[in-house]
Amino acid sequence: MSAETVIQIPDELDVDEDEIADEDKDSLIELAGKLRDKRNELNSKASEKASKRNELNDKTREVVDVAQKHREKRDELNEKVQELKDKRDELNEKANDLFDKVDKRKKELKLEEGESLDELEEQIEDLEFKQQTEVLEPDEEKEIIEEIEELREKYNERKSKLENNDEVQELVDEAKEAREKASEYHEKVIEFADKAQEHHDKMIEAYRKADEVRDEADEVHEEFVEVQEAADEMHENFVTVQKRLRKLDKEEKSERQTEREEKKEEAKEEAREVYEKFKEGETLDTDDFMLLQRAGLL
């Protein structure tokens, strides 16, 4: 607890029932006033602490609600990501199956015996590069040109066979289409996964903020408890002093009653003595007659 929240109670407000038994009434009245004022001051401070604590708890709930909304959105997006992944994987599997069928059909039709189109194209490019960059003898250059022409003829023939085979071409086109759609779904997977990550990061930040505010609320609650306990102690001390004052009032009242009764008894005794004198024939003055009347003897 910080030094600001420690409650300082003056020693004079630390009431002991035995110690105040010897205090006079005026001192007790003064003490009761100080206790009442301190109690009210602490109750007011406790109320402020409670209001601040409640405000922080409300803020905590608000931030948690924000975090929960980000969690729900993240989960919703993750579900969408999974759906897109399933479609992407399904299309990739379809494309793989189709390309396998293409390869199988090519073998069945003997369309890929010898070098592939890619290999033929690479050989042609290598020879053309050599022809353009190296100094060759006329016979060597002629030989390279003839080899390039043969490779081109073989390439065109092979390509023509593939392009003219509708069955294989349809399989290739369908496989490429499936692969393209799979790529589109993959891009969407990345897009929605990034959005899900954004909401996840915001959720984590909101929960972290909620923890900070909750910790602050807990600290204020501890301060509230400390202040309220001190206020309750002041109230108990005030009640103790009030009980002592009521006891003193009762004792004073009893003393006054006793004093009145004693005076009344004295007056009656004095009246009886005067009455005896009256019966014996002594002369009474006005005060004596009034005394006898008050005592009911005349």
- What is the model's pTM? 0.59
Would you state the pLDDT for residue 104?
Answer: 81
Would you state the pLDDT for residue 296?
Answer: 64
Cβ atoms of 231 and 43 within 8 Å: the answer is yes
* Cα 46 from Cα 27, distance rounded (Å): 28
The CATH code of domain 25-111+179-257 reads: 1.10.287
What is the full per-residue pLDDT of the chain (298 aa) written as tens digits? 343 556 778 877 887 777 777 788 888 899 999 999 999 999 999 999 999 999 999 999 999 999 999 999 999 999 999 999 999 999 999 999 998 887 787 766 655 556 666 788 888 898 888 888 888 788 888 898 888 898 888 888 777 766 656 777 788 889 999 999 999 999 999 999 999 999 999 999 999 999 999 999 999 999 999 999 999 999 999 999 998 899 888 888 887 887 777 777 777 777 777 667 766 767 766 776 676 677 665 5
* Location of structure tokens 């390869």: 103
* Cα 145 from Cα 267, distance rounded (Å): 161
Would you state the pLDDT for residue 14?
Answer: 81
Report the candidate in 114, 25, 36, 74 with the shortest Cα–Cα distance to residue 202: 74
Q: Spell out the residues 6+ positions from residue 71 whose beta carbon is closer than 8 angstroms to its own.
A: 199, 203
Q: What tokens were used for 292?
A: 């006898």
Domain segments of the chain: what residues? 25-111+179-257, 113-164, 258-294
DSSP letter assigned to residue 115 = S
* Cα 240 from Cα 258, distance rounded (Å): 27
Report the candidate in 214, 208, 200 with the shortest Cα–Cα distance to residue 61: 214
